[in-house]
Amino acid sequence: ATNPSLHLSPMLIFVLVSLASMVLADDPAASWLAYAQSKGETNTNASVVTKVTAKWTVPSSPSSPFGSNAPGFWFGIEPQPADALIQPILAYGDMGADFTLFNGYFFWPDQSWWQSSSIDVSPGDAVSGGVELLANQSYNMWVQADATGQRITSNIPIAGDRIYTNVFFVLEHQPELCAAYPSNNEVVFTDIVVERAGKVVADPKWIPATFKPACSSNTTIVSPTSVKFTWDSSWTKEDRLAVADGRV
């Protein structure tokens, strides 16, 4: 395992400053468009998340390289309340007009953000990621470009006595322009495996939600092992205003 060096992208700094100004206590954050959640039956070690893995494919490039703060397609785990997010991430525009894979950790109590170094990937590339609880009360998380096997693994110690019982799959970052989202209008997570207290959960009981939807974004539970996010990158600002005003 490696511990990548700390770096903050300008775009993510902007997003984090915006979030801090809202004085939010936990997730879901105002930057989330849509998500799926699997809750533990209890907030105890009987429901603790011991492992999550998933695969997904890098979507098409946006028709506009600008107009959104690093659209993110990721999954992660959190305690209850959801205030310490461990998240393997695929994002567009984090460090330029490209897709990158990296690991992230956001701690709500002090609004701190950490992210690893990154792997450049391209539309159509198969990628995967995971988180796993270790015996020393920390989590390893990883992202991987499957074609090359290039992987980044990061270790995050558990803060305090938190017990991670929430699993989230998320479509994140409110765009100014819907054209700043990938033009194929979907990302599908597949081969999802959730393990609690050392045992694979046959049905994680995903709860779909649209939190702060934009661009007609939506969550579909395809199966216990697959979650799909969709949006409409052809939407204009007028379309968005019409929805907000109740005209459509």
Q: Which residues are catalytic?
A: 172
Say if CB 58 and CB 41 are below 8 A apart.
Answer: no
Q: How big is the chain by its Cα radius of gyration, in Å?
A: 17
Say if CB 175 and CB 71 are below 8 A apart.
Answer: yes
State which amino acid sits at residue 148: T
State which amino acid sits at residue 246: G
Residue 238 is inside which H or E element, if any? helix 237-244
Q: Tell which residue, 224, 151, 197, has the closest CA to residue 2.
A: 151
DSSP 176: S
